[in-house]
Amino acid sequence: MSSDLPPPATVLLCYENVSGSCIKTSYSPGPRVILYAVFGFGSLLAVFGNLLVITSVLHFKQLHSPAHFLIASLACADFLVGATVMPFSMVRSVESCWYFGQSFCTFHTCFDAAFCYSSLFHLCFISIDRYIAVTDPLAYPIKFTVSVSGICIGISWTLPVAYSGAVFYTGASEDGLEELSSALHCIGGCQVVVNQDWVLIDFLIFFIPTLVIIILYSKIFLVAKQQAIKIENSQSKAESSSESYKARVARRERKAATTLGVTVVAFLISWLPYTIDSLIDAFMGFITPAYIYEIFCWFGYYNSAMNPLIYALFYPWFRKAIKIILSGKLLKNSSSTINLFSK
């Protein structure tokens, strides 16, 4: 007697014929190619775009300043996201499997978080730099020196790496969630669970620098508006050469602050959904669907590719540096002394 029941659906596994393998969610060929193209493009843009920023700042002597060193260090964090985080996350997102081993899973998760926090710390110090530059442009070169910039860069790298390593390599993030972690563990997976205490700490680490940035940039644009009104009112009056110089410096610093303000807003928009979702998820029993989690992750990852585009859009010196680098003129002995700020 024949049966009218349909055959059972085939369950795809990350590792066939391996006991304890994770279940694989497979995309059809069309969406799969599109996802690889979108994620791969973001990774390449983050790598080569930030490499151009780093090369520009390190090569051209005119860019050897505390502010530009901070920008170059921020570009390093974004470059590492594009080179060491995004390619492996791309495979995880499209294949729904982790093929790179458990040890590298921990390493990848650790540096994923570290580079994110490093970017935020850089932006916080950049906001401090811009605040001093706009509110006291003449004393700025004395207050924010290369040494001070170096200390800020050191803090922006050391603290995030140390914190992420302490959380993920010690297993502290899984305290109290051992049963859930065991249930999620399978061969071909890279599921990292973080308990409520550490999620709350993560949120505070994100929120406090963000609050500092918002307060400083609010003051920056308030001062900038007051300076613009003062300069406009004084245009009809005779000005001394020192006053004219101060006005030019203030105008230049305001423009730089505006550009970096756009960078800050882009970062917050990119990472805020993931941060808020992580906080809510931890207190609601990890209910976020996997595909929503991946969307939030990639929304944040793409921020690393956006910064060079923002610089190219707002910084004439960066556009000129790109032309010099791509044309091969960088190899000339005199290229490092080219004036990037000339009209």
pLDDT tens-digit series, residues 35-77: 999 999 999 999 999 999 999 999 999 999 999 999 999 999 9
What local confidence, expressed as pLDDT, does residue 343 receive?
A: 53
What is the rounded CA–CA span in Å between residue 286 and residue 192? 11
pLDDT in tens, 78-120: 999 999 999 999 999 998 889 998 889 989 999 999 998 999 9
Residue 262 lies in a domain: yes
Q: Is pLDDT at 173 greater than 90 in this prediction?
A: no
Provide the pLDDT confidence category of residue 121 given band limits of 50, 70 and 90: very high
What local confidence, expressed as pLDDT, does residue 331 receive?
A: 79
Residue 101 DSSP label: -
Contact status, residue 253 vs residue 140, Cβ threshold 8 Å: yes
pLDDT in tens, 270-328: 888 988 888 888 788 777 888 888 899 999 999 999 989 888 888 888 889 999 998 88
What local confidence, expressed as pLDDT, does residue 64 receive?
A: 92
The predicted model gives 5-32 an average pLDDT of: 77
- Residue count (the chain): 343
- Choose the weakest-confidence range: 63-67, 231-235, 265-269: 231-235
Residue 71 lies in a domain: yes
Residue 24 lies in a domain: no
Mean pLDDT over each residue of the chain, to the nearest integer: 83
Residue 146 lies in a domain: yes
Q: Is pLDDT at 11 greater than 70 in this prediction?
A: yes
What local confidence, expressed as pLDDT, does residue 51 receive?
A: 95
Compute, in degrees rounded to 10, the torsion defined by CA atoms 65, 267, 159, 210.
100
What local confidence, expressed as pLDDT, does residue 257 receive?
A: 66
* Of 49, 72, 50, residue with least CA distance to 60: 72
Residue 21 lies in a domain: no
What is the rounded CA–CA span in Å between residue 319 and residue 309? 10
H, E, C per residue of 225-286 = HHHHHHHHHHCCCCCCHHHHHHHHHHHHHHHHHHHHHHHHHHHHHHHHHHHHHHHHHHHCCC
What local confidence, expressed as pLDDT, does residue 147 receive?
A: 94
CATH number at residue 45: 1.20.1070.10
What is the model's pTM?
A: 0.85
Residue 209 lies in a domain: yes
* Domain encompassing residue 175: 29-233+240-332
Return the SS3 of 50: helix
Residue 39 lies in a domain: yes
What local confidence, expressed as pLDDT, does residue 110 receive?
A: 92
What local confidence, expressed as pLDDT, does residue 1 receive?
A: 46
Domain count, the chain: 1
Percent share of the chain, pLDDT over 70:
85
Write phi, then psi, for 277 (nearest 5 degrees). Answer: -65, -40
What local confidence, expressed as pLDDT, does residue 9 receive?
A: 53
Residue 175 lies in a domain: yes
What local confidence, expressed as pLDDT, does residue 36 receive?
A: 95
What local confidence, expressed as pLDDT, does residue 4 receive?
A: 53
Q: Mind giving me the DSSP string for 68-96?
A: HHHHHHHHHHHHHIIIIIHHHHHHHHHHS
